[in-house]
Amino acid sequence: MRGRKPQDGDYWRRCADARAAGVAPIYRGQPGYRDGLDADADGIACEPYRGL
């Protein structure tokens, strides 16, 4: 569940920071999205992963 919407100027060093702020997952095109946070290059950064 999100705590807030991504905002212009957002920059997250790590996904843990984005999750703590309540903005994860972050979709390509939204403020704060960057390739470095999108481990599988699917356009969704800091997405939750469920165990297989």
> pLDDT value at position 51?
52
Q: Which of 12, 42, 48, 11 is nearest to 27 (CA)?
A: 42
Q: What is the pTM of this model?
A: 0.83
Token digits of residue 4: 């807030």
| Nearest-angstrom CA–CA distance, 36 and 38 | 6
> pLDDT value at position 4?
85
> pLDDT value at position 5?
86
For residue 16, the enclosing domain spans 1-52
Token digits of residue 31: 């403020």
Three-state DSSP state, 21: helix
Sign of CA dihedral 22, 14, 46, 25: positive
Say yes or no to pLDDT of 52 above 70: no
Look at the chain and report how many structural domains it folds into.
1
Residue with tokens 């569940």: 1
